[in-house]
Structure formats: structure tokens, C-alpha cells
Amino acid sequence: VLAFALAAVFSSRITRPLRRLVTVARDLREGKLDRRTELERADELGELAHAFDEMAAALEQKVEETQRLAVTDELTGLANRRKFGEGLARELERGRRFGLGLGLGMLDIDHFKRINDTLGHLAGDQVLVGIADALRASLRNIDLACRYGGEEFALLLPATPGNDAVLVAERLRAAVADRPLGPDGDLHVTLSAGVATYPADGETAAELIRISDMRLYAAKQGGRNRVMGPVG
């Protein structure tokens, strides 16, 4: 009886906590980074479990930060081109499944090279950050703004038909034109934009990007500081 009693105590105090540690370690190895031992003990095993949980929490935070940086533009904090491509593919699939429209806009800062050449790249970076802030402030939670490359931005507008997508781009163009930018807040820049919509302008990501780029080029050729869309 005494032997059974000692075995039960040993199992409760030592074996089960160790098994819990092993189970959580295996879960972490399999990518279940939210798992914790949740062992509350005032002994050496409790200290070990606490240290183990702290390590697991730090690992989860590090992985989340790495994943965020992989899809985020470092300067502006907007989505990067990779995340935009993933979002566009996802929204196109949703549009096909549920019969929803989709707006895609390509925006480019007018005469951006002149800003870099005359005021320096630091001023150019501040302009990019200011425009990113304007985009974030003007879009819905379901929309996605991206720094597509250099001074070019892209917009993904789910469930937004042609005319509405053009109106969104026009609102953003006006917001940027009215926004003081640069080191001293005395610099005003403008955007040109091209808008394409699904399914009217194309049914693939490549088609929509090509059409919006073509319309962006037309906006530049037409005098800049304007939006060209399906009805433009």
C-alpha cells in the first residue's frame, strides 16, 4: 500500500508535469506556438515550467513579427507587393464565388524624381510616409493599400464596382493634393491614378494590373493629378 501511495505521489508531483512539458514542446515543434504548460507550482518544476512558457511566448512573438515584416513595406508600414498579390488573388476568388465586383487602383506620385533631386531622399521618404498616412486615413478596413514599388502605390477595393472605385481613387487624389508634406510641411504633391475593375476590365490579376497601369499612363499623359478609370 505504501509503495502504491508513493508511486501515486511521484506520478502526480513529477511524472505528469514532465509529460506536460514534453507534450507542449512537441506542439511547439509542430507550429502550435500558442501552447503553454500552464503549470503553477512553487518548486523547481514550477520554475522550469514558467521559464518554458516565457520562452514559448517570446518565440511566438518573434515568429509573428517576422511574418509581419515579410508582408510589410519597411518605410511606410503599408502592405508590400507580396501581400498585395496574395490579397488580390484571394479577393478575385471571392468575387468569382459570390459574384462581387472588385476595384484595383494604381497610383503614382507626380514628379517624384524632382523632389529627390532638389530636396534630397530624406524629404522623398517623408513624402512617401505622408501619402501612406493619407491612404490609411481614407480607406475602409476591408480595403488594402500597398506600396507597389518606388513612388507607386496600389489599392485593392473589395466589393467596389467601377464608378465607386473611381470615386475612391479621386477622393484619395484630392486628399493627397490638400495634405502638407515634407520636412517643414510646406510641400504639396499630386497623384495620378489608373483604375480597373473586375469583371468588366478583366478576370485575372494580370489583366487588371495591365489595364490599371495603362490608365495610369493615360492620366500622366493627360496632364497628371487626375484619375482615369472605366468611365474616364
For the chain, how many residues are written? 232
Helix (H) or strand (E) holding 117: helix 112-119
Grid cell 514559448 is found at 56
Cα–Cα distance for residue pair 151/28, rounded to 1 Å = 41
Closest of 153, 138, 170, 73 to residue 107, by C-alpha: 153
Catalytic residue among 30, 65, 91, 151: 151
C-alpha cell at 204: 485575372
How many C-alpha atoms does 20 have within 13 Å on its Cβ side? 20
Contact (CB, 8 A) for 190 and 110: yes
Residues 93/158, Cβ–Cβ less than 8 Å: no
What is the secondary structure of 155-166 as a DSSP string? Answer: EEEET--HHHHH
Q: Can 64 be counted among the known catalytic residues?
A: no
Contact 198, 101 (CB under 8 A): yes
Nearest to 172 by CA among 146, 191, 195, 152: 191
Residues identified as active-site: 151
